[in-house]
Amino acid sequence: MVAEMNYGQLVGEVERCAGGKPVHFIPKFGGDPHSPEELLAVVEEACGR
Amino acid sequence: MQGDEACAEGAIVAGCRLFAGYPITPSTEIAERMARRLPEVGGVFIQMEDELASIALIIGASYAGVKAMTATSGPGFSLMQENLGLAAMTEAPIVLVNVMRGGPSTGQPTRASQGDVMQARWGSHGDYETIALAPYSVQEMFDLTIEAFNLAEQYRVPVILLSDATLGHMREKVVIKLPSEVKIVNRKKPRVPPEEFEPFKPDEDLVPPMACFGEGYRIHVTGLTHDFKGYPKSTDPRIQDQLVRRLCDKIRLNADKIVKMDEYFMSDAKVVMVAYGTPARSAIRAVKIARSKGLKVGLVRLITVWPFPYNYFREL
């Protein structure tokens, strides 16, 4: 999972290295960083919770 | 202190003695701090007419032997791209701070973004490499500014500090280290007499020793493809091949030495989060909460954004 305050920049570099493993991108716009709760929700979803 | 102020203090400790810049939100506090602090340490602050002139001046200052820096945000960073390429081509050690804000164009002057990450890597034309660092705290605004100067001096390359509006304006406690307490790198100097010196002839590490104007060495500096003496050879394919490969390889082949990152809970992680800069702060918190719930999650916080740690991620 890649969290960036943009619409996808370094996530592309991670994907190039992932070797087919799934890569989830978590963008954020508007000027505020992601909150821990936002990221945690994505983590829990990825972990099947 | 503010992140922007910590950046300025880091620059002073690193030995920066010239700042040239043009005000732009949210980086202006760096210029303001440098305007006050540089005269106290025998340095020079110059407000330039625009961003093009700002980066041009610090390239010249670097060639005059002075550690120099500029700071800007997205729109100004765009204006600096031509001369960023000149700095890469002429191997001028400079530090460029980009306190990123929302874009494109003038976008959101007072709001944070990480929209300039690719521009830091690919913004100028031609084949070249830069180094970009991404601080995540006010302390790292101080520490990584010093690191930026050290890398610029070691590899003779423009180094970009990629901050953002949140971090630039955030206030945190900072430990200001003395120059004697930190590692300071200075550029290699010629080890041969002036009559034998070739200003762009590299050592084994692919980095040429750097003589500066006024030190008695003959130096020719051009953005054109040049030979070891610095003379234009813009129609010679072999010289272009040799030069471009070296400009890229001095960074690519040393990437493992340059790259820094922090790992959290990675030893048994089944899911990995990647973050850098301000979002990494939330990511650290999120991963700690996830761990407390028994989830095997790890975090990689990139400190060096460019060169990107391809080898590390391929091996995960």
Domain identity same for B121 and B270 = no
Q: Which of B164, B181, B198 is the last residue of a domain?
A: B181
Closest-CA residue of B relative to A41 is B286
Whole-prediction pTM value?
0.97
pLDDT by 10s per residue, chain B, length 316: 999 999 999 999 999 999 999 999 999 999 999 999 999 999 999 999 999 999 999 999 999 999 999 999 999 999 999 999 999 999 999 999 999 999 999 999 999 999 999 999 999 999 999 999 999 999 999 999 999 999 999 999 999 999 999 999 999 999 999 999 999 999 999 999 999 999 999 999 999 999 999 999 999 999 999 999 999 999 999 999 999 999 999 999 999 999 999 999 999 999 999 999 999 999 999 999 999 999 999 999 999 999 999 999 999 8
DSSP letters for A1-49: -EEESSSSSHHHHHHHHSTT----EEE--SSPPPPHHHHHHHHHHHTT-
ipTM over 0.95: yes
Looking at residue B91, the DSSP 8-state letter turns out to be T
Number of domains in chain B: 2
The CATH number linked to B284 is 3.40.50.920
Per-residue buried b or exposed e for B234-248, using 16+ beta carbons within 10 Å of the residue's own CB: eeeeebeebbeebbe
Q: Which of B153, B181, B209 is the last residue of a domain?
A: B181
Domain identity same for B266 and B170 = no
- Domain hosting residue B64, numbered range: 3-181
Domain identity same for B12 and B112 = yes
Closest CA to B250 of B83, B127, B117: B127
Q: B238 - beta bridge partners?
A: none
Closest-CA residue of A relative to B292 is A40
Measured from the Cβ of residue B79, the count of other Cβ atoms closer than 10 Å reads 18
Query: Does a structural domain hold residue B199?
Result: no
- Report CB contact under 8 Å: B279, A46: no
Q: Are strands B44-47 and B158-164 parallel, antiparallel or unpaired?
A: unpaired
Query: Which amino acid is it at A17?
Result: C
Q: Is B265 helix (H, G, I), strand (E, B) or coil?
A: coil
Number of domains in chain A: 1
CA distance A20 to chain B (A): 11
Return d(Cα B140, Cα B174) in angstroms, integer.
9
Q: Which of B181, B198, B225 is the last residue of a domain?
A: B181
Return d(Cα B146, Cα B152) in angstroms, integer.
10
Query: Does a structural domain hold residue B214?
Result: no
Domain identity same for B39 and B136 = yes
* Chain A residues in contact with B122 (beta carbon < 8 A): none
Q: Which of A13, A14, A34 sits opposite B279 (nearest CB)?
A: A34
